[in-house]
Amino acid sequence: MDNNAADAKETISYDDPDAPWNREYSADEMAGWNDGVIAEFRGNDGQVGGDYAGATLLLLTTTGAKSGKPHVVPLGALYRGDTLYVSSFIEGKYPAWYHNAKADPQVRIELGGEKFAANAEVLTGERYDEFATWALAENSLLAEYQAKVDKPLPLVVLTRTP
């Protein structure tokens, strides 16, 4: 686990009322939320401020399962040793990026100032169970959230491709 993840693990709780995911936002604020984060990320070699200051983010570009168009979403870059993976909190249904990765696992990653192609492996079955046991033990935010929802959190391993 990198230092940013370790620091976040010790200082942020899922139930923290000041955490970005626990604040209320207007529909207008939410509509452009990712656009501002993406622009700031790209303008600053992967560094962002505000609610995500100090966090290691990546931009995941998937191909829309229905539209066929590229979709970009900022996500926290999580690591298990050298294995890069992503997850997210879910509200009733899985996010579009997850469905897109299931439909077409060829994705693009922007991490820091680097851009590369990757394969997105949506974990299922025994591989999911083993990885989730580890991830929930290592990431208190994911564990706290998983305890509050019925569906298993999405776990997707990202492997660089040539």
Is the pLDDT at 11 greater than 70, yes or no?
no
Three-state SS at 110:
strand
Mean pLDDT, the chain, whole residue set? 86
Please answer whether residues 78 and 5 qualify as being in contact, where contact means their C-beta atoms are separated by less than 8 angstroms: yes
Report the pLDDT value the prediction gives residue 13, as an integer from 0 to 100. Answer: 61
| pLDDT for 141 | 87
Q: What is the DSSP string of 61-107?
A: EEE-TTT--EEEEEEE-EEETTEEEE----BSB--HHHHHHHH--EE
At residue 17 the predicted structure's pLDDT band, cuts being 50, 70 and 90, is low
For the cut 50, the answer to whether the pLDDT of residue 7 exceeds it is no
pLDDT surpassing 70 at residue 20: no
The pLDDT tens digits of the residues spanning 48-82 come to: 998 788 889 999 999 999 999 999 999 999 999 99
- Which pLDDT band, with edges at 50, 70 and 90, does 89 fall under? confident
Neighbours of 41 (CB within 10 A): 22
- For the chain, where are the alpha helices, taking DSSP H only? 3-11, 27-31, 33-43, 96-103, 125-138, 140-146
Which residue, chain included where needed, has tokens 């993406």?
38
Place of tokens 């249904």: 93
Average pLDDT over residues 124-133: 97
pLDDT of residue 107: 98
Q: What number is the average pLDDT over the span 92-97?
A: 90
Looking at residues 3-31, what average pLDDT do you find? Answer: 55
